């Protein structure tokens, strides 16, 4: 009898130890959502062939999309309008096509939501060397013919600066809206435009082709947002998990881009057909910043600047069209995986300044 009681007690102790051990292991492990998923979700992404979309390229080539459970396909576009229409139609799940472009679509009723960042700043005014000094001053644009790319962020920033300087860009400047930065450079070289607005690396290409960089967009609007990762609201609501995976992959790509310049340039050269030295100059010159933070604060500031400049007319609450929570959750998941990762720690610090 005593033996049976002893066995029963030992069994109870063993069972209790098992349960406690199980609870203990759960409390010490990372959240399940932070683990790399085993399944794959099909995901289509749109991009422009520019260094500003570097995080897409790194995430694809280094396998971060795949590791985070996304079966991605990248689709190239010539300008923001083309890419945004593809997102609007549902052909793309996400893309990065400036700030001005998405906000124009939003102003016209498209339910786009910005969930992450891709590029900040990185646009420039270019001109022939003999005309460069004229355009150092915003007053120099009065009466000039200026070529831009339709819906380009740098164009919107420049028009905002003109408005603040008391210049009516609608009547005092002849603006030519073209389809691509390459056609802008051609227009300036041929003389059909006195100046042009392009983004990196086309600004560096301009110098290579005998033109001169007159001014950077950061002078007109410091720290302005450019390419934001945007998606349709209904897609975000229907499959939030896919966008968490996207965000984790892009955050990891940012970490790689910061710490591995040589390999990042190699990756970029597959998508941006330029000399590698030129790619490196464009990517790491300090005139462009590739950060996955959605930067809600400056996204809203950009909207208000565009309204003031007459670039858009809308009473929409733009704050409802930027959602930092996906990026925030993805960053928290990566912090759980790698608590000592200095890049993630810095991004977490910046998140509060940019979004809360």
| The two structure tokens encoding residue 303 | 């909207």
Residues β-bridged to residue 228: 117
Distance CA 148, CA 155 (A): 6
Distance CA 117, CA 289 (A): 10
Q: 96 vs 66, 157, 160, 229, 293, CA distance in Å?
A: 19, 17, 22, 5, 13
Phi, psi (5° rounding) for residue 113? Answer: -130, 130
Q: Which long-range contacts (CB under 8 A, 24 or more apart) does 342-345 make?
A: 343/254, 343/255, 343/258, 343/259, 344/251, 344/255
What residue ranges define each of the domains in the chain, with the CATH number in brackets?
Answer: 34-119+226-355 (3.40.190.10), 123-220 (3.40.190.10)
Alpha helices (runs of H) in 173-260, residue ranges in sequence order:
181-190, 202-208, 217-220, 233-238, 240-259
Please tell me whether residue 295 adopts helix, strand or coil conformation: coil
* pLDDT at 37 (0 to 100): 87
Supply the pTM of this predicted model: 0.88
* pLDDT at 21 (0 to 100): 39
| The two structure tokens encoding residue 309 | 């400049």
Mind listing the pLDDT tens digit of every residue in the chain (356 residues)? 433 443 343 343 343 433 333 433 333 333 334 678 889 999 999 999 999 999 999 999 999 999 999 999 999 999 999 999 999 999 999 999 999 999 999 999 999 999 999 999 999 999 999 999 999 999 999 999 999 998 999 999 999 999 999 999 999 999 999 999 999 999 999 999 999 999 999 999 999 999 999 999 999 999 999 999 999 999 999 999 999 999 999 999 999 999 999 999 999 999 999 999 999 999 999 999 999 999 999 999 999 999 999 999 999 999 999 999 999 999 999 999 999 999 999 999 999 999 98
Phi, psi (5° rounding) for residue 201? Answer: -95, 10
* pLDDT at 25 (0 to 100): 33
Distance CA 279, CA 112 (A): 31
* pLDDT at 284 (0 to 100): 96
């Amino acid at each position: 009898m005593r033996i049976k009681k002893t066995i029963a007690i030992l069994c109870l102790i063993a069972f209790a130890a098992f349960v406690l051990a199980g609870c203990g292991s759960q409390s010490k492990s990372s959240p399940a959502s932070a683990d790399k998923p085993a399944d794959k979700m099909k995901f289509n992404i749109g991009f422009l062939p520019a260094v500003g979309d570097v995080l897409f390229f790194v995430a694809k080539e280094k396998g971060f999309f795949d590791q985070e459970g996304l079966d991605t396909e990248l689709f190239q576009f010539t300008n923001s309008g083309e890419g945004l229409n593809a997102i609007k139609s549902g052909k793309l799940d996400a893309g990065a096509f400036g700030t001005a472009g998405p906000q124009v679509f939003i102003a016209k009723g498209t339910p786009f939501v910005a969930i992450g960042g891709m590029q900040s700043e990185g646009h420039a005014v270019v001109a022939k060397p003999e005309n460069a000094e004229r355009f150092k001053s915003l007053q120099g644009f009065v009466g000039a013919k200026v070529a831009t790319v339709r819906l380009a962020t740098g164009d919107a920033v420049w028009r905002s600066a003109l408005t603040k300087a008391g210049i009516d860009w609608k009547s005092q400047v002849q603006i030519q809206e073209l389809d691509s930065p390459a056609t802008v450079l051609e227009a300036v070289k041929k003389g059909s435009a006195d100046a042009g607005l392009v983004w990196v690396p086309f600004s560096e290409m301009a110098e290579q082709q005998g033109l001169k960089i007159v001014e950077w967009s950061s002078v007109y609007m410091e720290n302005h947002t450019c390419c934001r990762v945007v998606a349709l609201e209904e897609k975000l609501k229907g499959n939030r998990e896919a966008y968490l995976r996207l965000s984790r992959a892009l955050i990891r790509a940012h970490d790689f881009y910061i710490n591995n310049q040589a390999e990042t340039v190699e990756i970029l050269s597959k998508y941006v057909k330029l000399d590698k030295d030129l790619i490196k100059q464009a990517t790491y010159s300090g005139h462009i910043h590739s950060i996955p933070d959605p930067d809600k604060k400056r996204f809203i500031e950009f909207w208000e600047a565009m309204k003031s400049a007459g670039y858009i007319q809308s009473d929409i609450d733009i704050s409802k069209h930027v959602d930092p929570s996906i990026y925030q959750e993805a960053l928290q998941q990566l912090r759980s995986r790698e608590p000592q990762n200095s890049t993630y720690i810095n991004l977490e610090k910046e998140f509060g300044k940019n979004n809360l």
